[in-house]
Amino acid sequence: AQSVTQPDIHITVSEGASLELRCNYSYGATPYLFWYVQSPGQGLQLLLKYFSGDTLVQGIKGFEAEFKRSQSSFNLRKPSVHWSDAAEYFCAVGAVESQGAQKLVFGQGTRLTINP
Amino acid sequence: NAGVTQTPKFQVLKTGQSMTLQCAQDMNHEYMSWYRQDPGMGLRLIHYSVGAGITDQGEVPNGYNVSRSTTEDFPLRLLSAAPSQTSVYFCASALFGNQPQHFGDGTRLSIL
């Protein structure tokens, strides 16, 4: 079974600073990896996904993530954060099982606070 | 295009009551799922469906029932609510197997 660890529960950065959110996964085969963002009181919005191919993937809102198989990591980055990026971020690993069932396992989430 | 719609947004129940959380999607997605979100635990899969008439259990299915009579709807039933089921519930759908899931805005449920 797959698992995901987000080591940082809460991160605070200054507006304009760079950001890196960590994600480590455990899965026996090539995983499907996702980053979602959740604003307060809202559902989850997909930022980016990795299925195969280029290990550096670009997402919405200026985010990118790099898949590193040797480190079992899929860290999320942004070169310069904006106050509107304050939210909770979830990393997830997916596996497609019988009959096309997609089993998503989520990390615990990282809450991002932006200092003005 | 509404996407994934969940109703109600908020609900308070007493222990032992039953209720149904509604989920509908208008994207003709085959795959639908229910998650619960609890502080510090991320989202955990309750039940899922790969198409009309087909459902299966996820990681935390106890106390919940589902059915899938149409492609569009995937209701979640609490048969006898317990305080441990106080949570935020999210419904999601995907086109098929490995495609990203689209989430509803959630139902915040409190069991007293």
Whose structure tokens read 């280029």? Answer: A54
Alpha carbon of residue A52 to chain centroid: 16
A11 to chain B, minimum CA–CA distance in Å? 14
- Mean per-residue pLDDT for B7-29? 96
Q: Which of A11-15, A40-44, B5-9 is least confident? A: A40-44
- Supply the mean pLDDT for chain B: 93
Nearest to A83 by CA among A115, A46, A40, A36: A115
Q: Determine what percent of chain A is predicted with pLDDT higher than 90.
A: 73
Report the pLDDT value the prediction gives residue B10, as an integer from 0 to 100: 96
What is the sign, positive or negative, of the torsion defined by CA atoms of A9, A38, B43, B99?
negative
Q: Looking at beta carbons, which residues of chain A come within 8 Å of B100?
A: 34, 46, 49
pLDDT in tens, A22-72: 999 998 777 889 999 999 888 899 999 998 888 999 999 999 999 999 999
Strands (E), A15-84: 19-21, 24-26, 32-38, 44-50, 56-58, 64-68, 73-78
Report the pLDDT value the prediction gives residue B1, as an integer from 0 to 100: 61
d(CA B30, CA B49): 8
Which candidate from A46, A92, A102 shows the least CB-CB separation from B31?
A102
Q: Does the beta-carbon distance from A108 to B48 stay under 8 Å?
A: no
Report the pLDDT value the prediction gives residue B17, as an integer from 0 to 100: 97
A109 to chain B, minimum CA–CA distance in Å? 6
Asked if the model's pLDDT at residue A94 lies above 90, the reply is: no
DSSP assigned state of B68: -
Report the pLDDT value the prediction gives residue B87, as an integer from 0 to 100: 97
Which candidate from A42, A92, A108 shows the least CB-CB separation from B41?
A108
B3 to chain A, minimum CA–CA distance in Å? 12
pLDDT in tens, B50-59: 999 999 999 9
> At A2, is the pLDDT very low, low, confident or very high (cuts 50, 70, 90)?
confident
Q: Tokens in use for A110?
A: 């990282």
> At A98, is the pLDDT very low, low, confident or very high (cuts 50, 70, 90)?
low
B24 to chain A, minimum CA–CA distance in Å? 15
For an interface test with A, which of B41, B55, B99 has the most A Cβ atoms less than 10 Å from its Cβ?
Answer: B99
Tell me if chain B has a CB within 8 Å of the CB of A14: no
Which candidate from A32, A102, A107 shows the least CB-CB separation from B42?
A107
Q: Looking at beta carbons, which residues of chain B come within 8 Å of A106?
A: 35, 42-44
pLDDT in tens, B74-92: 999 999 999 999 999 999 9
